[in-house]
Amino acid sequence: MKRIVTVIAIIVFIAALLFFIRYFRGKDVEKVGFETVEPENVPKQITEVLPNYRMKEKALVAKINDEIYVVVTRGEKNTAGYEVEIDKLILTEENGEKVLTVYAKYKDPKPGDVTAQILTYPFAVVKAEMEELPQKVVLEREYKN
């Protein structure tokens, strides 16, 4: 019985080792610097297309005048009190494609909070320190209190 458990443990260990080698091989991870853009300073081109995406929860990138902007939208909310903040940007290369992972922190109103009963469309915009647009953008969400 001990021999079977030992063999199974060795097989699981080897499988995990192979997974991690395959997963991390060839991944160049680069943390991307950024600067938060206040709503009143968002470029006109972004404010013009933002209504097309405000109903969706997603991350977008745009290149305007050789500067790259990252936008995170939370979709339509029925009350005030919802917020979004871009926490960090990570650029990796996977299968020859540059992938930008956007880590966003979401804040929701607490149960029982009195909030205005209006439709809101929370979003955040940052100017990223990047030279070119990535081929793919991934949004990772984290809820904070």
At 114, the amino acid letter reads: V
Predicted confidence (pLDDT) per residue in 65-95, tens digit = 999 999 999 999 999 999 999 999 999 988 8
Cα 132 from Cα 62, distance rounded (Å): 10
Domain residue spans in the chain? 28-144
Q: Is the pTM of this model over 0.75?
A: yes
Cα 88 from Cα 95, distance rounded (Å): 23
